[in-house]
């Protein structure tokens, strides 16, 4: 850990030497081993080593920052001079600040290095299973990597955190083809602490591959209706992305967040509880230190439908007069519900099982519209058929309020743990 700490301390010292009143430095060393997959082949073995040093300085309430990927003292000193020049050229803001002193701490998780032979064997096993069980499936632009990251965050108030984490990442992209019929592509990804289990058991993959084959013969949806939507764990990440953006610095400082006056108010159905747990044992790909230099803590973002916290940084907190968040969000864990997925389907008179949403970025108001990809029509409590050319539209905030069921089953993606979520009042239109 000394190498990454020395870089961060050299960066901090360079900033103070250049005249910073307050300064912080985050150094990161990333060692990555990646295997790429295309069709039935492993196409490329990629090993990359990278350094990242982020420097920030405040002088006379003016702030500057810079990032470089060099760690020698001369480069750090040159970057520090630039940071101070940037700060001097900026406008003063009393809200610029750095994290206060906290007890120094070292964090560590995961392996230090990959098992490349095992990675190769697991991928070969996966490609073999695809060939035998899903011969119509074609893998494209997919990869498995092992990323080992060492990081140090220091500031002039005495913050000194060092962390180390080793995680395997998998991203699988695929479509299916039979004759001249093609399914829409789909994808999933997960983070894994080790390679003890086959990939097919991870990240909803087996289900998504089955659906991919079924979608070779998807039919265009006809007509238009307002109905229910059951959002798969994979797809619910899009809703969480909207929520994160709406609760963040930019939306709250700009005053455009629809949740700006909703702290401790009902923003979702009482059956929905969402945690952000970056330092939980159940999340293998979280983070230990926030972007502004605090030891990250777990939080409950929405508790029985009540908004408990924003995702405000130290700066955002000072600009809005609201409390700083104890984490940067993400690492979402949604409490399981009491309804089995099969029963969720049975309760839908007419609706859509939404597996992938391909749509425009939701407006600040929460309005969204897009294509329901890899999805199914639900009629009279049964999954009817795979659909294509179906658009859905609604409002994200309304959708959260209109959640009618949360499944008892959840999918562990390594970076989040999510259930199926059902909601009402979504407009669905076809040809």
Closest distance of CB 172 from another protein, Å = 12
Q: Does 185 bind another protein (CB under 8 A)?
A: yes
Chain Cα centroid distance, residue 286: 10
- Among 160-168, 248-256, 289-297, 400-408, the segment contacting another protein (CB under 8 A): 248-256
Q: Which is nearer to another protein, 37 or 283 (CB)?
A: 37
> What share of residues in the chain are helix, strand, coil (percent, to 5)?
25, 40, 35
Q: Is position 383 an interface residue for another protein (rule: CB under 8 A)?
A: no
Among 108, 197, 297, 365, binds another protein (CB under 8 A): 365
Query: Which of 10, 149, 165, 175 is the binder for another protein (CB under 8 A)?
Result: 175
> By CB under 8 A, is residue 31 in contact with another protein?
no
The helix/strand/coil state of 154 is strand
Q: Which residue of 2, 91, 103, 196 would you call a contact of another protein, by CB under 8 A?
A: 91
Least Å distance, CB 265 to another protein, is 15
Q: b/e string for 296-321 if b means 16 or more Cβ within 10 A? A: bebbbbbbebbbbbbbbbbbbbbbbe
| Residue 352: φ, ψ to 5° | -135, 135
Measured between alpha carbons, how far is 30 from 166 in angstroms, rounded to an integer? 10
- Least separation in angstroms between residue 184's CB and another protein is 5
Hey, is 262 helix, strand or coil? Answer: coil
Q: Does 172 bind another protein (CB under 8 A)?
A: no
> Judged by CB, which is closer to another protein: 240, or 345?
240
Can residue 44 be called a binding residue for another protein (CB under 8 A)?
Answer: yes
Asked if 159 contacts 171 with a C-beta cutoff of 8 angstroms, the reply is no
Distance, in Å, from the CA atom of 300 to the CA atom of 306, rounded to the nearest integer, reads: 10
Q: Rank residues 92 and 270 by Cβ distance to another protein and give the closer one.
A: 92
Length of the chain counted residue by residue: 431
In the window 54-83, what residues touch another protein (CB under 8 A)? 63-70, 82
Name which of 87 and 403 has its Cβ closer to another protein. 87
Return the number of the residue (48 or 297) whose C-beta is nearest another protein: 48
Shortest distance (Å) from residue 129 CB to another protein: 17
**DSSP letters for 38-103:** ETTEEEEEEEEEEEEEEEEEEETTEEEEEEES--SHHHHHHHHHHHHHHHHTS---TT---PPP--
Look up residue 158 and give its DSSP letter.
Answer: -
Of residues 103, 132, 360, 380, which one binds another protein by CB under 8 A?
A: 360
Q: How many CA atoms lie within 13 A of 222 on its CB side?
A: 2
Is residue 393 a contact residue for another protein (CB under 8 A)? yes
Site for another protein in 316-335 (CB under 8 A): 319
Upper half-sphere CA count for residue 352 (Cβ side, 13 Å): 31
85 binds another protein (CB under 8 A): yes
Residue 26: CB minimum distance to another protein, A: 13
- Comparing CB distances to another protein, the nearer of 107 and 185 is 185
Identify the residue among 210, 369, 384, 408 touching another protein (CB under 8 A).
Answer: 369
Contact between 309 and another protein per CB under 8 A: no
Does 42 help bind another protein (rule: CB under 8 A)? yes
Q: Does 361 bind another protein (CB under 8 A)?
A: yes
HSE of 392, CA atoms in CB hemisphere, 13 A:
33
Q: Does 245 bind another protein (CB under 8 A)?
A: no
Binding test (CB under 8 A) with another protein, winner from 161, 315, 332, 413 = 315
Distances (CA, A) of 193 to 81, 109, 113: 40, 9, 12
**For another protein, the closer CB: 337 or 366:** 366
Are the beta carbons of 378 and 385 closer than 8 angstroms? no
Q: Which residues of 227-240 are buried (b: 16+ CB within 10 A; e: fewer)?
A: bbbbbbbbbbbbbb
The smaller minimum CB distance to another protein, of residues 89 and 132, is found at 89
Instruction: Provide the β-strand partners of residue 49.
Output: 31
The DSSP code for 305 is T
Binders of another protein: how many residues, by CB under 8 A?
80
Q: Which is nearer to another protein, 160 or 249 (by Cβ)?
A: 249
Closest separation in Å from C-beta 147 to another protein: 12
What is the dihedral sign for C-alpha 358, 361, 363, 364? positive
Chain positions 94 to 153 lying near another protein, rule: CB under 8 A, are 95, 116, 120, 138-141, 143
* Binding to another protein in span 264-303, by CB under 8 A: none
Considering only residues 165, 183, 191, 355, which one is a binding residue for another protein as defined by CB under 8 A? 183
């Amino acid at each position: 850990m000394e190498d990454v700490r020395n870089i961060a301390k050299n960066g901090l010292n360079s900033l103070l030497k250049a005249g910073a009143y307050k300064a912080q430095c985050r150094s990161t060393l990333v060692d990555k081993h990646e295997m790429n997959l295309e069709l039935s082949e492993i196409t490329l073995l990629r090993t990359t080593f990278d350094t990242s040093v982020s420097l920030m300085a405040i002088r006379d309430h003016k702030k500057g920052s810079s990032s470089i990927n060099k760690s020698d003292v001369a480069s750090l000193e040159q970057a520090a001079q630039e940071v101070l020049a940037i700060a001097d050229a900026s406008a003063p803001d009393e809200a610029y600040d750095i994290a206060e002193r906290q007890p120094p701490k070292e964090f560590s998780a995961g392996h230090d290095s990959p098992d490349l032979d095992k990675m190769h064997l697991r991928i070969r096993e996966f490609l073999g299973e695809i060939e035998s069980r899903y011969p119509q499936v074609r893998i494209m632009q997919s990869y498995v990597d092992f990323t080992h990251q060492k990081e140090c965050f220091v500031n002039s108030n005495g913050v000194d955190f060092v962390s180390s984490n080793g995680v395997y990442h998998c991203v699988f992209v695929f479509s299916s083809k039979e004759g001249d019929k093609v399914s829409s592509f789909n994808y999933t990804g997960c983070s894994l602490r080790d390679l003890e289990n086959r990939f097919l058991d991870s990240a909803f993959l087996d289900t998504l591959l089955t659906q991919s084959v079924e979608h070779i013969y998807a039919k265009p949806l006809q007509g238009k209706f307002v109905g229910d939507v059951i959002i798969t764990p994979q797809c619910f990440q899009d809703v969480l992305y909207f929520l994160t953006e709406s609760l963040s610095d930019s939306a709250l400082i700009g005053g455009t967040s629809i949740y700006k006056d909703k702290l401790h108010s009902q923003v979702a159905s009482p059956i929905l509880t969402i945690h952000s747990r970056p330092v939980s044992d159940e999340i293998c790909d979280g983070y230990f230190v926030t972007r502004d230099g605090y030891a990250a803590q777990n939080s409950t973002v929405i508790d029985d439908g009540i908004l408990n916290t924003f995702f405000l940084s130290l700066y955002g907190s000072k600009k809005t007069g609201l409390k700083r968040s104890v984490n940067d969000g993400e690492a979402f864990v949604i409490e399981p519900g009491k309804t089995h997925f099969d029963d969720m389907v049975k309760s839908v008179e007419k609706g859509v099982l939404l597996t992938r949403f391909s749509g425009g970025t939701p407006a600040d108001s929460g309005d969204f519209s897009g294509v329901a990809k890899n999805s199914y029509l639900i009629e009279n409590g049964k999954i009817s058929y795979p659909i294509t050319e179906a658009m859905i539209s609604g409002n994200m905030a309304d959708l959260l309020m209109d959640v009618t069921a949360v499944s008892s089953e959840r999918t562990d993606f390594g970076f989040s743990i999510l259930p199926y979520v059902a909601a009402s009042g979504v407009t669905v239109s076809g040809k």
